[in-house]
Amino acid sequence: MKFTRVFAFMALAGLAGSAYATNGYFSHGYGMKAKGMGGAATAMSDDAFGGANNPASMAFVGNRLDLGVDLFSPRREASRTGSAGLDGSADSDSKYFLIPEFGYNHMYTPDLALGVTVYGNGGMNTNYSGGQINCGGGPANLLCGSGKLGVDLMQLIVAPTAAYKLAPNHSIGISPLIGYQRFKAEGLQAFSGMSSDSTNLTNRGYDDSFGYGVRIGYMGKLSPTVTIGAAYASKMKFDEFSKYKGLFAEQGGFDIPENYNLGVAWDATPLVKLALDYQRINYASVNSIANPSNNAFPLGTDNGPGFGWQDINVWKLGVEYKYSQQMTLRAGYNHGDNPIQARDAMFNILAPGVVKDHMTLGFTYTLASGNELTMAYMHAFKNDVTGPDGLGAGGTDKIQMYQNSLGIQYSWKM
């Protein structure tokens, strides 16, 4: 019965759209317990989301199944002012997304854990209506194309995980990462003249691709009150989006960048735990994400324009308080660098991943059966980036976003 739930949820996760754009386009956390603590999870072993956080943690998790879903609501706006007749503004119409995730772990022996984590790595989604401006040929969207303007990127990762205790308080783990992503773009007709393949630039419907990578991790309980953790995820190499080889650099390439995280958790008192994570996301290793938008090469070539995203550092701080035997309360703060520079503001109308600061709250209630109900809330504060417009009419482009999410998770202990 429990395995039926797992595979049904895998099917649901595979069909769900993703619209994360918190730490760049990575989620602020994976698993509702981590999400309630600002995403801090590298040195925590409270659920079966080690495949997304730290594979080594699964050796200390026990037998459990965690099913969760997030209602994610990003609010994005783009505008242009001071131009010669091309001023306008638009809000993205897509505002609510359901994003499922799950984790399963089984202690095959007292020292060996086998499990799987399925999660949405992140994504970018914008959906602006057209008709805000007139570029000389009638009503047009903010980038002078016809009809709606926007992109939709969804990334799903399945992470089978193995963790082994080298000693009673030290473990290592590995998660092969199997990825699926799909993408579409609309309303970019005005860029046809600067594309290496204008027939595969925009309005081609959804395209999908598969990729692979690996995450490895270590966890060590240095004392009864202090735990440390570290994890590294390689770049996930994906097949090219052939329908958009005239848009993305490297003929439609769109890989997931390498990233790593370090963490420490401290039981300050028997009732209070503090956790601190540092994460590095190396967007610069993926040309289609990192190439400056003003590169003087055709779109779709190796050095073609991209989103201009920089590598970012992310700090995650969380606190957990055992209010009672049944109730655990959580709060957190997450600060990440903004990957987008002023020069790339216009191109990032498509992907305004500019938020930096997040506050989170959460709780877990343990039922009489021993199973758990967990909820987490996140608010990402509004941030914006302004920069010179590149349509040739002067002016300044401004992109801005804020976010809210509310998630629920049910966990079976087996």
pLDDT of 129 strictly over 70: yes
Q: What are the tens digits of pLDDT across the range 168-190?
A: 999 999 999 999 999 999 999 99
**H or E stretch at 252:** helix 249-252
pLDDT of 19 reads: 56
Residue 215 tokens, joined: 């995450």
Confidence band (pLDDT; 50, 70, 90) for 295? Answer: very high
The pLDDT value given to residue 227: 98
pLDDT at 124 over 80: no
What mean pLDDT is reported for the chain? 93
Instruction: Give me the mean pLDDT over the 295-323 stretch.
Output: 96
pLDDT at res. 125: 87
Question: What are the φ and ψ backbone dihedral angles of 138, each rounded to 5 degrees?
Answer: 105, -175
The secondary element (H helix, E strand) that includes residue 37 is none
2 — pLDDT class (breaks 50, 70, 90): very low
- Per-residue pLDDT, 8: 45
Q: pLDDT-derived band of residue 225, with 50, 70 and 90 as boundaries?
A: very high
Nearest-angstrom CA–CA distance, 28 and 335: 9
Percent of the chain scoring above 70 in pLDDT? 95
Lowest-pLDDT range, 112-126, 231-245, 355-369? 112-126
Supply 279's token pair. 């994460």
Strand 259-267 to strand 272-281: parallel, antiparallel, or no bridges (unpaired)?
A: antiparallel
pLDDT digits (tens, 9 = 90+) for 324-365: 999 999 999 999 999 999 999 999 999 999 999 999 999 999
How high is the pLDDT of residue 5?
46
pLDDT of residue 94: 82
**pLDDT > 90 fraction of the chain, expressed in percent and rounded:** 89
Q: Tens digit of pLDDT for each residue in 243-269? A: 999 999 999 999 999 999 999 999 999
Rounded to whole angstroms, the Cα distance separating 19 from 353 reads: 10
CA distance 57 to 50: 6
pLDDT level of residue 18 (50, 70, 90 thresholds): low
Residue 353 in tokens: 């991943």
Determine the pLDDT at residue 121. Answer: 80
**What six digits make up the tokens of 23?**
């730490």
Dmax (CA) for the chain in angstroms is 71
Of all helices (H) and strands (E), which one includes residue 50? none
pLDDT (tens digit per residue) in 99-109: 999 999 999 99
Indicate if the pLDDT at residue 1 is higher than 80.
no
In this structure, what DSSP letter does residue 376 have? E
Range scoring the smallest mean pLDDT among 8-12, 183-187, 272-276, 393-397: 8-12
